Structure 1
């Protein structure tokens, strides 16, 4: 039997990411949350929990974003249960994805470092 390239958890996570992106965008607009977007969704093997990774436009507001989205998690889950064809929609946990911030910090450090001349290394 050939192996599957995608696990069911990966497919469910991708579908959740698409649906949650729409819901989070509406929540930002309707509830006055700071601007944010869904970067990834990780689902447990038993499909009981989904960790939703979000990024904020302003990193200083990340705690407010995560707190607000976790308060709306039950509402999001209810909405997902109506739109998705799953027997049981996983419980949602929102966490801040700081990988974008780390990448920007590395770029800033690289821009600040003086360029290395290749002529100096040959002599």
Structure 2
């Protein structure tokens, strides 16, 4: 039962985080960010937010620093939007799967061109 609830909370948080990060965060360090996934623990105490960041390595690091500084504001916004007893503690991680998929696709494309 808690697994179903944590999945629902994760999906709702993903939707709300996308809106918060695109409209409410005014930190100049935070670049173009897309929330790709949110994983919430069964007890709803912690949430791991996977993000995709457009830019080079330095811009990605700056964005992570900006998001870390904005955690309190982001949690309060989520608390205002979602009815939870306690808003989960957030941790942001860069989702490399899109870049990894593009790299594999380029390799396959290059191999096909050679043949």
Alpha-carbon RMSD across the aligned residues, in angstroms, is 1.9
**1:101 aligned partner:** 99
Q: Output the TM-score relative to the length of structure 2.
A: 0.87
The 5-angstrom pairing of residues 63-102 of structure 1 reads 63-102=61-100
Q: Output the TM-score relative to the length of structure 1.
A: 0.82
How far apart are 1:59 and its partner, in Å?
A: 4.6
Runs of 4+ in 1 over 6 A off after TM superposition: none
Stretches of structure 1 that go unaligned for 5 or more consecutive residues are 118-123
Counterpart Cα distance in 2 of 1:64 and 1:106: 27
- How many residues are paired up? 112
How far apart are 1:26 and its partner, in Å?
A: 2.1
How far apart are 1:112 and its partner, in Å?
A: 1.1
Counterpart Cα distance in 2 of 1:36 and 1:79: 17
Higher relative contact order (CA 8 A, sep 6+): 2
* Structure-2 change in CA distance of 1:19 and 1:26 (3 Å): same
Stretches of structure 2 that go unaligned for 5 or more consecutive residues are none
SS state of the match for residue 76, structure 1? helix
